[in-house]
Chains A and B, each alone.
Chain A
Amino acid sequence: MRSQFLLPGGLLAIAALGALALIFPGAAAQASSTSKTLSASVKACGSVNLKGVTTTYNSGNPFASTNLKCSDGMVIHYGNNSITYVNPPASYAATGKLLFDQTCSSCHGSEANGVAPNGQATIGPNLQGVGAATIDFWITTGRMPATDVAAIEAERKTPRLNDKQALQVAAYINSLDPSVPAVPLPNLRGADLADGASLFALNCAACHTITGAGDALAFGTNAPSLENRQVTPQQVAEAIRIGPANMPRFSGNLSDTQVRDLVAYVTEKIQHPSNPGGAGLGGVGPVAEGFVALLLGVGGLALICFWIGERS
């Protein structure tokens, strides 16, 4: 996966990095110096749509990164030891356009801008400027292309396009309006699972439940199960950073290291629960557990009492 991204990418923007190192000595930046950094870097890396990206606390912001790599004015990758954000190569865009025209354009418009040929708004939203991570998440989870466009939510299902095709579509849409966040590749080695657990309890458990089983929310929506082992570390990191559908976006309040810890906790503990008691009963809480205790426990005891008291 990684090797696909690390194609020979052209020249490193050494000048930009030098400027960054001068202006950006620490991770915590004051607002004023950040804006200076941004304007300097945007020039070095071409115009990049920063909608939805915060400027603080290494939160998916390419220009807070000392690891930024640009070529031909395009962001190739950025990030840190915890997460590397990678844009699919520009050479994917041509195939991506074909795939987009076949599978996406009827709902999102031929220019991916949410405008139909007759000037009306399409069923699907404008996709320009959402960043490669958003496109990759929706396609690799099988939620897009949707089977029922009138449904309240696009459910997870077997993906129609494979991982490479998802990146090709992402490359095409990103080429229309270069944006971030790029596709996050979390480096789970050395992740702090205990930190991930407490962050999960604080930020995720409200909707996904403490065991990650997922739960119903308002008006027919629901928080999906994270116990599903088909959910990849990349998809978890994408969901945290982009906030798909009704999920909030976690940007400046979670650092890349914290996101990495969360992803490790979800993919190593939530998806592989130890269940020391034997059966987890789906981890859906006291109703299921109380039902089993009543039916098997109390019911079994009642049968035994009946047997003891019965005259032979």
Chain B
Amino acid sequence: MSEDVSEHEPSRTKVPMPIATLSDPHLGDAAKNPARTESLIALILLVGIVMIAGFGAAYWQNWNPWIIGGTMGAGLFLLGFGLTAWGKYLMPQGPFVEERHVLASSPEERDSMAAALVERSAVVVKRRKLLGGLFALGSGIFGIVAIFPLLRSLGPVPGTSLDRTQWRKGSVLVDSNGRTVNAGTLVVGGIMTVFPKGLQNTPEGQAIDQTVLVRVQSTDLVTAKGRETWAPKGYVAYSKVCTHLGCPVGLYEQQLELLVCPCHQSMFNVRNGAIPQFGPAPRPLPQLPLHFDDEGNLAAQAGFDQAVGPGFFERTTTKENGT
């Protein structure tokens, strides 16, 4: 083999394959005395095999998940450990140096190559204007076509959909099971999450319509000027979607009378219209005006007077009753 190579490539240096000896500087201490190392690695691999077998048995017998995972993990780890130790301690270690032959072609070869190129390009290899033009045309059309999905991915214009929830004038408050709320449902200090009746189990209803109902006192509560009738018998309702990043403001501290957002600890005072008392929330939670309907159930006087949840570019704070 080496004879053939040297025959055709006289420039390659002939290097005889050295016979490995124990005095080879590339062999580590462990490799010079391999019996002990090999038995140690063999032991590691054996334990790994036992673990793999144990993994099979554990899976077959449906044992605890942590036994299944533990045996599989330990088995794979020990097999890999044995393999790595084998290569590390029993194999010769570098660095190995191999002299390389001259890479450049001879001047004669280079000249003949250049001459061949010049000769051929006159006939066979020439510029193909038609193909180049067609490719450019295809690329250009693709560029124009690609603009349309790009623009479309910006989505339909939201319009006023972000400003409105499903709460309307007369929407009856129900819990997630569809049960209505009357004057006796909550005692002072109670809290529940309510939805507009009929929408309590739809995705839209649960996402942006979720509203937290708190009973602050037993008599009518005025949270702000212009909201005199909004909280009958101390029942006050606020949007459950935080005005910061939209987390559900579900934590109510009844002595402090604070609604707390679990994500960034914004705190809203339920007595004064959920004005943020602490935390990053930029606006109060929108308040839902309530009243008791003819059947004695709590219902909305109107929808929210502003967009619920976090801010967005086109958000306005002008009154937009969702009626």
What is the CB-to-nearest-CB distance from A53 to chain B, in angstroms, rounded to a whole number? Answer: 7
B18 contacts the other chain (CB 8 A): no
- B-contacting residues, A216-268, CB 8 Å: 217-219, 221, 243, 245-253
* Interface hit among B131-139, B161-169, B182-190, B223-231: B182-190
Given that A202-B176, A217-B260, A277-B65 are contacting pairs, would A249 and B187 also be in contact in the complex, using a CB cutoff of 8 Å? Answer: yes
Q: Which of A243, A248, A307, A312 lies in contact with B93, CB distance below 8 A?
A: A312
B262 contacts the other chain (CB 8 A): yes
Given that A202-B193, A277-B66, A278-B66 are contacting pairs, would A247 and B254 also be in contact in the complex, using a CB cutoff of 8 Å? Answer: yes
Given that A277-B66, A278-B66 are contacting pairs, would A248 and B185 also be in contact in the complex, using a CB cutoff of 8 Å? Answer: no
Do B254 and A312 have beta carbons less than 8 Å apart?
no
Number of interface residues of A (CB under 8 A): 34
B175 contacts the other chain (CB 8 A): yes
A interface: dominant SS: loop
- A-contacting residues, B254-288, CB 8 Å: 254-256, 258, 260, 262, 265, 267, 278
CB neighbours (8 Å) of B265 from chain A are 218
A278 to B28: give the CA distance in the assembly, Å: 41
What is the CB-to-nearest-CB distance from B276 to chain A, in angstroms, rounded to a whole number? Answer: 12
Q: Which of A34, A207, A218 lies in contact with B184, CB distance below 8 A?
A: A34
B185-218 toward A: CB 8 Å interface, digit per residue (1/0)? 1111111110000000000000000000010000
Do B184 and A246 have beta carbons less than 8 Å apart?
no
* Interface hit among B140-148, B150-158, B245-253: B245-253
A8 contacts the other chain (CB 8 A): no
Considering only CB atoms, which chain A residue lies closest to B253 in the complex? A246
Number of interface residues of B (CB under 8 A): 43
What is the CB-to-nearest-CB distance from A233 to chain B, in angstroms, rounded to a whole number? Answer: 22
CB neighbours (8 Å) of B278 from chain A are 218
Considering only CB atoms, which chain A residue lies closest to B81 in the complex? A304
Considering only CB atoms, which chain A residue lies closest to B189 in the complex? A249
What is the CB-to-nearest-CB distance from B95 to chain A, in angstroms, rounded to a whole number? Answer: 9
A7 contacts the other chain (CB 8 A): no
A311 contacts the other chain (CB 8 A): yes
CB neighbours (8 Å) of B214 from chain A are 248
Do A246 and B296 have beta carbons less than 8 Å apart?
no
Considering only CB atoms, which chain B residue lies closest to A208 in the complex? B251
Do A250 and B190 have beta carbons less than 8 Å apart?
yes
A252 to B192: give the CA distance in the assembly, Å: 10
- B-contacting residues, A40-67, CB 8 Å: 52-57
CB neighbours (8 Å) of A218 from chain B are 253, 256, 258, 260, 265, 267, 278
- B-contacting residues, A261-312, CB 8 Å: 276-278, 307-308, 311-312
Do A52 and B188 have beta carbons less than 8 Å apart?
yes
Do A53 and B187 have beta carbons less than 8 Å apart?
yes
CB neighbours (8 Å) of B184 from chain A are 31, 34, 54-56, 252
What is the CB-to-nearest-CB distance from B247 to chain A, in angstroms, rounded to a whole number? Answer: 10
A276 to B191: give the CA distance in the assembly, Å: 34
Do A248 and B189 have beta carbons less than 8 Å apart?
yes
CB neighbours (8 Å) of B219 from chain A are none
CB neighbours (8 Å) of A219 from chain B are 256
Q: Which of B30, B187, B192, B267 lies in contact with A312, CB distance below 8 A?
A: B30
Q: Which of A31, A54, A202, A207 lies in contact with B186, CB distance below 8 A?
A: A54
What is the CB-to-nearest-CB distance from A197 to chain B, in angstroms, rounded to a whole number? Answer: 14
Given that A217-B253, A277-B65, A311-B93 are contacting pairs, would A243 and B183 also be in contact in the complex, using a CB cutoff of 8 Å? Answer: no
What is the CB-to-nearest-CB distance from B74 to chain A, in angstroms, rounded to a whole number? Answer: 13
A247 to B181: give the CA distance in the assembly, Å: 21
Do B89 and A248 have beta carbons less than 8 Å apart?
no
Do A252 and B30 have beta carbons less than 8 Å apart?
no
A218 to B248: give the CA distance in the assembly, Å: 16
B84 contacts the other chain (CB 8 A): yes
B14 contacts the other chain (CB 8 A): no
CB neighbours (8 Å) of A215 from chain B are 262
Do B182 and A246 have beta carbons less than 8 Å apart?
no
CB neighbours (8 Å) of B192 from chain A are 253
A185 to B25: give the CA distance in the assembly, Å: 81
B50-82 toward A: CB 8 Å interface, digit per residue (1/0)? 000000000000001110011000000000000
A252 to B254: give the CA distance in the assembly, Å: 16
What is the CB-to-nearest-CB distance from A168 to chain B, in angstroms, rounded to a whole number? Answer: 27
Given that A308-B84, A312-B88 are contacting pairs, would A253 and B28 also be in contact in the complex, using a CB cutoff of 8 Å? Answer: no
A207 to B265: give the CA distance in the assembly, Å: 12
- B-contacting residues, A179-203, CB 8 Å: 202
A15-45 toward B: CB 8 Å interface, digit per residue (1/0)? 0000000000000001100100000000000
- List the interface of chain A (C-beta within 8 A of B): 30-31, 34, 52-57, 202, 206-207, 215, 217-219, 221, 243, 245-253, 276-278, 307-308, 311-312
Q: Give me 9 A-to-B residue pairs in the complex whose CB atoms sit less than 8 angstroms apart, sorted by A's number.
A: A57-B185, A202-B193, A207-B251, A245-B255, A250-B190, A252-B186, A252-B190, A276-B65, A312-B88
- List the interface of chain B (C-beta within 8 A of A): 28, 30, 64-66, 69-70, 84, 88-89, 93, 175-176, 179, 181-193, 214, 248, 250-256, 258, 260, 262, 265, 267, 278, 296
Closest 7 CB pairs of A and B: A206-B250, A278-B66, A252-B185, A246-B253, A55-B184, A248-B191, A253-B192
Given contacts A52-B187, A53-B187, A277-B66, 6 further A-B contacts (CB under 8 A): A54-B184, A215-B262, A218-B258, A218-B260, A246-B255, A278-B66
